[in-house]
Every structure is written in C-alpha cells, then in structure tokens.
Amino acid sequence: MMEIEERLLSACVLVTAGTLIWQAAGDPGDPGPCTVANQTVYVNGNLETHIHYPDGDQCGVGITAPYPAIAFAHGFSMFGLTNGAEDNAGNGEHLASWGYVVAIPVLPDDVEDRIMDMQGVLSYLGGETQAPASFLYQKVDIDRLAVAGHSFGGATVLALVARDSRVKATVALDPVYHQGGPGGNPEIWDPDVEGPDITVPTCILGAPASNCNSEGDYAEIYPYIGATHKATFFVTDASHCDFMDPGNWACSLVCDGTTDPSRTDLIQKYMTAWLNYYLYLNTGYYDYLYGAESDADVAAGHTERQVNTAPRGLTAAGTLEGVALEWELYEHPIIAGYHVYRRRPGEAYPETACAQVGRTSTYVDVGLTAGQIYSYTLRSHDAAGNLHQPSSEVSAVPMGSSSWVYLPIVLRAQR
C-alpha cells in the first residue's frame, strides 16, 4: 500500500499542507514529455526485439524511472515478409515519449510460439532492469508491466494476459482471432474459454469490418473479458491499417480502406490514456476514457464507446436496525474507495452518497427503521474522486429487536 501511495503522490503537486492538486493531463494523442532512445536486442539470443525507452531517469512530474514497461505484439507477418517491429515503431516511440519502456519483438506467425516469445520479452525486461551493465538498468518497474498488440497481435496479448499474472493492464488494437483474418478461417484463440480469465483492466479498440478482420472480432471478444474494468472504443471510420505506425505495404495492399494520420493519433490517444490511468494511476486521464474528452469524441461521431466499470457481487442482508452490504473488492490500485447510495421505495437515488468507504468489501448501514425496505447501489472511485459506473441494485429490510430469535443453549455435564 505504501508503494501505491508514493506513486499517487508522484503524480500530483503539493500546493498547501494537506491539499493535493493533480498534474494537468496533457493530450495523450500528442507526443509526451520524454526524449526517446532506441536499441535493438536479441532476446534469448535470437528474438529480434526493438526497444524504445525514455532517454533519462525523469521526464517531468510523476514520470520517473523505473518506468512501466510494455511488450507490444505486431500483427500477421505475411510469413516473414514484413517486419512488425519496424511497422509499429511509431507506436513504440509514442508510448516511450510518455514514460514507458516499450519492447516490440519480431514475432512468428504461430500463436503459441508468439505467446512464449512475448513472455520471454517480459522476462528479459525484468532481468535487464537488475543488470548493472544493461542500458535498461533500473529503468523498468516489474510491478507495472503491460502488453499491447495489433490484429493477430491483439489476440496474442489477450491470450497472454489470461495466462500471465505479471501483466497489470492490456490494450488490444482491432484484434483478430481468426487465422488469416477473414471470417470462415480457423480460430487461433478461444476467447470464450480464456477471456473470463482476463481480470486486469482491458481496453479493446476496434474498426469497421475489413478484408483483414471481416467478422469485427473485437466485438465478439469483448463480452468474454472477465475484467471488472474494461472498455471498447470503436473508431467509426478507421481502417485496420490505421492502428499501425508507420505501417507497411502489405496491410495497404491486402486490407481495404485508406489510412489517415489523424485516426492513428486518435488510436494512440486512447491507448496512451488507458495506460496512463491504469499504470501511472494518473487520474487526469479519466476524462479521456470516461469523461468530457471521451464524450466529445462520441458526440463528434469519431468513436462509439462501451464501458464496464461497475463493482460486482453486491449483496445486502438485514441486521438489527441496519443493513449489511458486501461486494467484490477490485484489487487494482486505481480503486481508492467506494460511494454507497441508498433509497427507499418511491424515491430516486440522491446525487450525494450516504457513505464513503475506503478499499474494503463491506459496509454496515445502521440507524435504519425496522421493517422498511432499503435499496442500495455502489460506485467505486479513484484517488481524485472520479466515479465509475454504479453496481446493480440490491435491497434488504432491517430487523427490530423482536425479530431476533434466541435459541436455548443446553449444557450437559461431562462424564
């Protein structure tokens, strides 16, 4: 818990004693404050991997080494005819400019080999940050690892995060889980089987169906994701190739649709905002995902949004002149606490919560009228007080003293 508090403090500015004001969130679609360096390494001796990373130990308030790290999986390589690390160098540069160490390996086209290689990259990052001779020495925070990927790489990282507890957040860019992309081909991953095992914050960005993703796989995958915090942002006029930066000739040739740098910027904005919110715990990026900035994109017709952030498992039970509530605590540190809302029959829920609690999974509402029905919903919030979606409603009836039944206890003498 102390580590979480230190990270929260590092992302804000102390103005007066006891008052914290969060650093203004820059537009995550623009380049970030970090100067970027690059190196190519060979993980396990033969896996060509391009590393993009901040050139220095500090880029600004709250962006300091050790940095979160991202392993990025490119799409189908056309049987090795394209270099996915070069095709996505712009994505790596962009994320590195925001204070991430980004590793993009050149992956094979077999899904299980890809997953193993990506896990090897995560292990490499963890080892290099502890090696004094490495250019990544003390630059990687192994407790803040994420994965991202495009197309076939999007399905790759979703499969990986379902299996690897080291990963704390993920972003899938127009993911494709059918071999070769178009419908009718065999599945390379079973989202219905492994999707429920994905519990870390998961963002899926999608585009209209194309030759390379004719079934719009992003929409099929999303319902299976088990994470309490998940969202999908559909980029309404994007092509499958807009998610690559700078891209390659093969995508433009095989996939229909044109590419547009403004759409690539929009995609990078959501990818970066997701990671800034859930890895840096920078609450200023709430607006880019769930608030005014994201609302503006929806209103302008640039995106369509589906969000799931509601607490789960809320139950209520009547107690003596009270109601006991329990729910599932979402373990991610973006959750700073919960707002509890109460109403009686015929009433609407008030805007003001009847109680605020910290990172707990229980609350007992006391001093209520016996025999009266009380209904409740619950909303989690981050450290800046930004509210997530409300839970489902539950109801209970407090008991009076006459409702309690006392059973006699019979003591028998021991023989």
Q: Which residues of the chain have pLDDT under 70?
A: 1-24, 78-80, 179-185, 257, 402-415
pLDDT at residue 257, as a whole number: 67
pLDDT at residue 183, as a whole number: 46
pLDDT at residue 248, as a whole number: 84
Residues across the chain: 415
- Inter-CA distances, 249 with 43, 46, 83, 110, 302, Å: 27, 26, 11, 22, 26
User: Are 341 and 378 a contacting pair, CB within 8 Å?
Assistant: yes
What are the pLDDT digits (tens) for 83-110? 999 999 999 999 999 999 999 999 998 8
pLDDT at residue 37, as a whole number: 98
Q: In sequence order, what DSSP letters do the residues of 191-223 get, joined into one string?
A: HHHHGGG--S-EEEEE----TTSTT-HHHHHGG
pLDDT at residue 186, as a whole number: 75
User: Are 361 and 353 a contacting pair, CB within 8 Å?
Assistant: no
CB-count exposure of residue 36 (10 Å: 0-12, 13-18, 19+): buried
What are the pLDDT digits (tens) for 332-361? 999 999 999 999 999 999 999 999 999 999
pLDDT at residue 250, as a whole number: 77
Tokens of 110: 């077999």
In this prediction the pTM is: 0.91
| Closest to 333 in 3D by CA, of 288, 278, 373 | 278
Q: For residue 292, give the 3-state DSSP assignment.
A: helix
Q: Which residues contact 299 (CB under 8 A, 6 or more apart)?
A: none
pLDDT at residue 72, as a whole number: 98
